[in-house]
């Protein structure tokens, strides 16, 4: 089954404790991206990657890191989480230029206390 898998689905953590949210896709997609979704603000792009070792900033990259060492994986790293990073996070992947955002993961609900 074609899918984008995020882990964990739910996470409560404390301020300053480094964490990683994993994202993996089994569709051989070149493009992957991370979003956060907040009430009233909608989905905002954090980082995206066009291929292995190629990443670029979206609209809200501050406080986040990403890496793309393998085509299928695109982890999101919060080196020092803060309460304002409490949000619902989505990973997405797509084939190429046009239909690039075809598949979203199930989401990760992160709470930073």
Partner 1 sequence: QKEVEQNSGPLSVPEGAIASLNCTYSDRGSQSFFWYRQYSGKSPELIMSIYSNGDKEDGRFTAQLNKASQHVSLLIRDSQPSDSATYLCAVKGPSGTYKYIFGTGTRLKVLA
Q: Which residues are near partner 1 by CB under 8 A?
A: 31, 33, 35, 40-45, 48, 50, 56, 58-59, 90, 97-107
The owner of tokens 């984008």 is: 4
C-beta of 75 vs 80, nearer to partner 1? 75
- In the complex, what is the shortest distance from the CB of residue 83 to partner 1, in angstroms, rounded to a whole number? 22
Give residues with Cβ within 8 angstroms of 68, minimum separation 6: 32, 49, 51, 52, 53, 54, 55, 74
C-beta of 15 vs 33, nearer to partner 1? 33
**Distance separating alpha carbons of residues 72 and 24, to the nearest angstrom:** 5
C-beta of 16 vs 25, nearer to partner 1? 25
């Amino acid at each position: 089954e074609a899918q984008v898998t995020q882990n964990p689905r739910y996470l409560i953590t404390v301020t300053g404790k480094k964490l990683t949210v994993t994202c993996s896709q089994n569709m051989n997609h070149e493009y992957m991206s991370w979003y956060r979704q907040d009430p009233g603000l909608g989905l905002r792009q954090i980082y995206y990657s066009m291929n292995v070792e190629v990443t670029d900033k979206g609209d809200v990259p501050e406080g986040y890191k990403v890496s793309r060492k393998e085509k299928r994986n695109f982890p999101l790293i919060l080196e020092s989480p803060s309460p304002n990073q409490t949000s619902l996070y989505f990973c997405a992947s797509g084939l190429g230029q046009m239909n690039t955002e075809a598949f979203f993961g199930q989401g990760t609900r992160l709470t930073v206390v």
